[in-house]
Every structure is written in C-alpha cells, then in structure tokens.
Structure 1
Amino acid sequence: MSAIVPLRKRGAGHDTAAKTLRTFPRRWFLVGTYPARYTAVSAASQIRSGRYAQYSPAGAFETHVKPVGDESGVYARYVGDPR
C-alpha cells in the first residue's frame, strides 16, 4: 500500500478529496473520519459507486474503512475510469 495522506478530519470535503485523489492516482488518502463505523461504511460505498458526483464514474475509486483513534476513517484512492 502506498503512503496514506490525510486530507481532512471529520466528514469529507469531497470536491477537494476527489481532485487530490485524481492528481495522485493509486495513492491512498484518508478522506474523512466519522464517529460511527456505519456512517464511514456508507460514505465509502457512496464513493465507490460514484453516487457522490465528484467520484464518478462508478468503479473509478477504491475505498476501505479502518479505525482512526476512536473514529472510523474512510480511505480512498483513484484507480482510473473502469470503462
């Protein structure tokens, strides 16, 4: 796994995060932290599926969720347009 670079803390500034991820393809970034794991899992799913417009098309980003202190962090990376 590449170096993980935090983009921001609580919640995610999705415009900034998506631009940064596209600028550094295949590099993992912490795009946000959430107090509840289920919220982080939901955000990660939204990113992967391209439901947040900044992350379209679906499949262009990979995500995973892991603990960050007492919260859950969403990590993402841009892997390119799957089409």
Structure 2
Amino acid sequence: MPRPKKRPTADHSQIAHHLSAHPYEWGPVRVYPTAYSAEDIARKIQAAEDRFCVYGPAGYFETRTTPVEDGTLLEARYTGGISKPRRRPATGPTSADLMWADAITGLSPATGPNGTT
C-alpha cells in the first residue's frame, strides 16, 4: 500500500502576518485531511492558544472551513476583534411601513374624513 503523500506544514507566523496586513480578507491556512483536524486548528487559531499564539490576542481572527477534493480547506481572516458588519439586503417597505404611512396620511389636517378638503 503506498504511503499517503506528505502535506506541507503551514507557516502560521507568516500566515498571521499576511492576514493582519489585509484585514477582513479571507486567506488560506492549509488543506487538512479531515474536517475534524481543520476544525480543531480553527478553534486553536480563534483562541490563539499554544503554538497558534501568533494569531493573538484571542478573538482577533475568524476562521471557516470548506470541504475540498483532498480534505478540508481552513481559511482565516484578521478582524482585530471586531467582526465586519454584515450588510442587510435592500428591501422595499414592509406591510407595517405601508400601514403607518396610511395612518399618518389619514391624520393630515389638509384632508377631511372622506379625503376631501
């Protein structure tokens, strides 16, 4: 049985430095053979614990994992401890907005009870 090919190790110091210079941009950390190993490293990066202290202080990096053909890709981004606000999708007025607009229009002193002046 052939031995599995050895994966290159991640240079976490270099990765953390690069990500810190590019806040809020996702960057690859490494492809891990299993989701479990990728999620374990992701947790350690977020906590900046042990040999992952270069990602410190704790909470300054966010991580995400994505299944890929040869394992699980771990990505990280530097946030400085502040999550980037998510943009809410633009929407039109809600039914409550329309009801309030009708109510305010009905209170206008320029119109009578039947909408006449």
**TM-score tier after normalising by the smaller chain length:** 0.7 to 0.9
Specify the alignment match of 1:70 in structure 2.
Answer: 70
Residue 43 of structure 1 aligns to a residue whose secondary structure is helix
Match of 2:47 in 1: 49
Measured against aligned partners, the alpha-carbon deviations of 1:9-38 in whole angstroms (never above 9, x if no partner) come to: 744210110000001000000111111110
Which is bigger in relative contact order (C-alpha 8 A, separation at least 6)? 1
Q: State the number of aligned residues.
A: 74
Moved over 2 A (4+): none
- Greater Rg by CA: 2
Length-normalised TM-score, structure 1: 0.81
2:29 aligned residue (28, 31, 50): 31
What corresponds to 2:79 in structure 1? 79
Which amino acid letter does the alignment assign opposite residue 76 of structure 2?
Answer: A
Instruction: Select the structure that is richer in strand.
Output: 1
List alignment gaps of at least 5 residues for structure 1: 1-8
